[in-house]
Amino acid sequence: MAALPAMAAAAIGLVLLPAGTAEAEDGQWSVLPATSTIGKRPCFYLAAAPGQRLTDAVTLTNRSDRPRTFRLYAADAYNTARDGGFAVRGPDEPRRAAAAWTRLDRERVTVPARGTVGVGFTLTVPDRAEPGDHPGAVVALEEPPEAPAATGIGVRQAVAARMYLRVTGPTAPALAVRDVTVHRRGGAAEISYTLHNTGNVTLRPRAGLTASGALGRRLLDRGITGLPAELLPGQEVRLATRWDGPPDAEWAQVTVHARADGTTAQGRAAYAAHPPLAAVLAAVALVWSALGAASGRMARMSDRSPESTAPHRAGFACFVGRPNAGKSTLTNALVGTKVAITSNRPQTTRHTVRGIVHRPDAQLVLVDTPGLHKPRTLLGERLNDVVRTTWAEVDVIGFCLPADQKLGPGDKFIAKELAGIKKTPKIAIITKTDLVESKQVGEQLIAVHQLAEELGFEWAEIVPVSAVGDSQVQLLADLIAPLLPESPPLYPEGDLTDEPEMVMVAELIREAALEGVRDELPHSIAVVVEEMIPRENRPADRPLLDIHANVYIERPSQKGIIIGPKGSRLKEVGMKSRKHIEALLGTPVFLDLHVKVAKDWQRDPKQLRKLGF
């Protein structure tokens, strides 16, 4: 899990002091995760599958000259309604998720003067726990409170070590912007809106604000500050931002755009400022005069073709086909950068990967799917389900058929299923044309055309391409764009994929691991990134990101193949994948890889769930 900011202060009937650093605010005492073999930890970063049990420990340090007694408890976290800050529940409030699953070895502990005490705890994830993030904290509440002699009133101080628990399984980042309102206040306007994390993972939101006038004139375009550093799963926060100097006479549409971890959302509201009647009449007279003066010019130009005002289009197009048909390579070529891993091994892609192509006239969201095949394992069945679910929801289907292979039973099986999808336009894409002569390409084009005729449907287009040779790739984009629905862009300019960074890092490691392995091994390899944490105490100009990942195989006999003699093979995997990871994240990384056995995970529902399938 990516590193998150240090513990912030919160108060619910008590004072919570920060625990993200070595000391509390008053320097008297602190509570932190026990030091691990990796080093000091600012927070607990834990991951577990449903039914799994974890053990850890918290360290209490007393820097004062007298003993202190604390009440220890586990608490669930939430966002404060005021500003979305991270906060934890009080000791007597209900405990539902991470707090309910945590059992401390001791609930009260006395720490001697200038001493340190460690307390262990066990966290047991229920069998039916919902996948995703379950944030919380281990809180140390000083007890009894000190009372100043003059007033007899004391303040109960507490420090909490944050706990970020991720229950493994399918994660679904999702964000909504709701209830946008605009209120004029003197010479400014206040724009209020609600951010709602509707997914199951913690989000780090960013937002922007735009306003467009009645004739499309851009009135406002800027980022929004003051957002919560993180928005916890299921949480919603009401926020506001100021618009200085809005027009005095204008109708406008105000839009709040939000994005976080590959998911986007927006909400809109109307703004209307009514000018004095005299100003309205003057504006009408000005427009009427301009129209009269332009009427002669318009008559003289009537024989010219008007400038194109084609509407913007945006939508989803998926690439389907047999394994190793070139779908991922084609996706990368259209996007212009690597968003999907590639390999000469079939069934490399194991989940849908979205690549985003930005054009002046359209935005193409390309969905690369696993290859449809005859399944031999539970994993294979689930991958096929992913493909069928995807092509039922997209606007355009691209059927990839390699030019260097004649149509086979697998191609005909997929084409027959596509024939049953009546309303969605289908494009036949002949891939890998750089591997064959033009005559063979022509024969494949004819065969593909006849295939559709036999099944009683028509291709919207048939186009040969070479993603490696960059032949007719842009033509393919030109053919897809008109088939998409009229729509504004679905993703912000500059986004190339909505894949979470941890998933992309895991895929880059798996891509490197696939190179040079034996034929029976590729399908047995899975990779899970356990955590991504910025290295502490690094200079600002020399950051380092620690990535800890596990490479899973199915049998102990496969371990030696992945590791290699004296670890040489695993070292090579780390070196190759690290280069791509650093290019993706834009920062140096330290990659810690471990090889683990998950016995027959492709056939085991529990193991599949643990590995995210």
pLDDT in tens, 305-356: 334 457 889 888 888 888 778 888 888 888 887 665 554 444 444 455 678 8
Residue-wise pLDDT for 158-175, tens only, equals 888 888 888 888 878 888
3 state SS of 192: strand
Mean pLDDT of 438-467: 87
- Averaged confidence pLDDT in the chain: 76
- pLDDT of 603: 65
End-to-end CA distance of the chain: 18
Report residue 279's pLDDT band, with 50, 70 and 90 as the boundaries.
very low
3 state SS of 466: strand
Distance in angstroms (rounded) separating the CA atoms of residues 136 and 142: 19
Higher pLDDT, 571 or 503: 571
Mean pLDDT of 86-92: 85
Ligand-binding site membership of 431 (annotated): yes
Where residue 382 falls (left for φ over 0; alpha for ψ -120 to 50; beta otherwise) is: alpha
- pLDDT of 430: 92
**Residues across the chain:** 613
Distance in angstroms (rounded) separating the CA atoms of residues 565 and 569: 7
DSSP state of 276: P
- pLDDT of 22: 29
Distance in angstroms (rounded) separating the CA atoms of residues 324 and 333: 16
Q: Is the pLDDT of residue 130 over 50?
A: yes
Ligand-binding site membership of 369 (annotated): yes
Ligand-binding site membership of 368 (annotated): yes
Ligand-binding site membership of 338 (annotated): no
Backbone angles phi, psi at 25, to 5 degrees: -65, -35
Q: Which tokens go with 437? A: 């002569």
Burial of 159 (0-12, 13-18, 19+ CB in 10 A): buried
Q: Residue 588: in which H helix or E strand, if any?
A: none
Query: Cβ(567)–Cβ(576) under 8 Å?
Result: no
Nearest-5° angle of CA 425, CA 426, CA 429? 145
Q: Is the pLDDT of residue 103 over 90?
A: yes
Q: Is the pLDDT of residue 267 over 60?
A: yes
- Cβ neighbours of residue 220 closer than 8 Å, sequence gap 6 or more: 209, 210, 211, 243, 246, 254
- Cβ neighbours of residue 434 closer than 8 Å, sequence gap 6 or more: 466, 468, 469, 471
Ligand-binding site membership of 181 (annotated): no
Ligand-binding site membership of 371 (annotated): yes
| Residue whose pair of structure tokens reads 């209120």 in the numeric block | 183
Least confident of 78-92, 119-133, 517-531: 517-531
Q: Which tokens go with 162? A: 């944050």
Q: Which tokens go with 354? A: 């979205």
Ligand-binding site membership of 327 (annotated): yes
Strand ranges (E), 125-249: 132-142, 157-167, 175-185, 188-197, 206-213, 218-224, 236-244
Ligand-binding site membership of 432 (annotated): yes
Ligand-binding site membership of 372 (annotated): yes
Q: Is the pLDDT of residue 105 over 90?
A: yes
Ligand-binding site membership of 324 (annotated): yes
Q: Percent of the chain at pLDDT above 90?
A: 10
Mean pLDDT of 427-448: 88
Q: Which of 398, 410, 403 is nearest to 368 (CA)?
A: 398
Query: Cβ(206)–Cβ(172) under 8 Å?
Result: no
Residue-wise pLDDT for 370-419, tens only, equals 545 454 555 455 555 555 565 567 788 899 999 999 898 888 888 888 88
- pLDDT of 602: 66
Ligand-binding site membership of 323 (annotated): yes
Mean pLDDT of 539-564: 81
Strand partners, 116: 61
- Cβ neighbours of residue 335 closer than 8 Å, sequence gap 6 or more: 355, 356, 357, 366, 496, 497
Distance in angstroms (rounded) separating the CA atoms of residues 10 and 25: 13
Q: H helices of 58-97, where? A: none
- pLDDT of 31: 86
Ligand-binding site membership of 343 (annotated): no
Query: Could you please report the per-residue DSSP string of 215-269?
Result: TS-EEEEEEE----S-B-TT-EEEEEEEEES--SSEEEEEEEEEEETTEEEEEEE
- pLDDT of 366: 83
Identity of the highest mean pLDDT range in 209-223, 466-480, 530-544, 580-594: 466-480
Distance in angstroms (rounded) separating the CA atoms of residues 321 and 190: 51
Task: Give the CA radius of gyration of the chain.
Answer: 29
